[in-house]
Amino acid sequence: MDLKIDECPTPLGTMLAVHDAGDALVALVFSDHAAALPAWLQRQGLALASAVTAPVARTRRALDAYFAGDLVALCTLPLHWTGTAFQRACWQALLRIAPGAPISYAEQARAIGRPGAARAVGGANALNPIAIVVPCHRVIGSNAALTGYAGGLARKRWLLAHEAEHCGISAHRAAA
């Protein structure tokens, strides 16, 4: 399968968007955390283009709209799912978390029918290949602590505050 890669500027730094031949999003990662991307794609049986290719306008428009405050703009992007059945269940559950309403890892585990699997859910979220669109940043510790985010905790904090601002709630309440 031929994959396309595009560099997408965002307020949080450049992101690399990887798309399949049908322009479905395979991965969206911050470029400063993309060193493992080629090996991860290879484990999924996918091969990355050797250089940045033509941009996929739909993804850029959706990202621009999200960062401008349209928090549902990313919902329109087609996704190319990878990973194990458990990982996909975790990632699909992330799509049901409303902007501005973070949940705990334990709540996410209960949502997928695995109430004792909070740690495993955290591990699956850490491997989420489609940052922001599949919103693992909306999962926090049971004590409301900002724990774990592949893009870094500063970005997670920013994303939660951005969503809280555009949902009309305080950032403190969004992370509580």
Answer whether 79's CB lies under 8 Å from 129's CB: no
Distances (CA, A) of 19 to 125, 126, 138, 165: 20, 20, 24, 30
Residue type, 48: L
**Helical packing angle, 85-94 and 118-126, nearest 10°:** 90
**Residue from 8, 75, 136, 167 carrying the catalytic annotation:** 136
- 3-class DSSP assignment, residue 84: coil
Give catalytic status of residue 136 as yes or no: yes
| Closest C-alpha to 139, from 172, 90, 66 | 90
Conformation bin of residue 83: beta by default, left when phi > 0, alpha when psi is -120 to 50 = left
Q: What residues are annotated to the active site?
A: 136
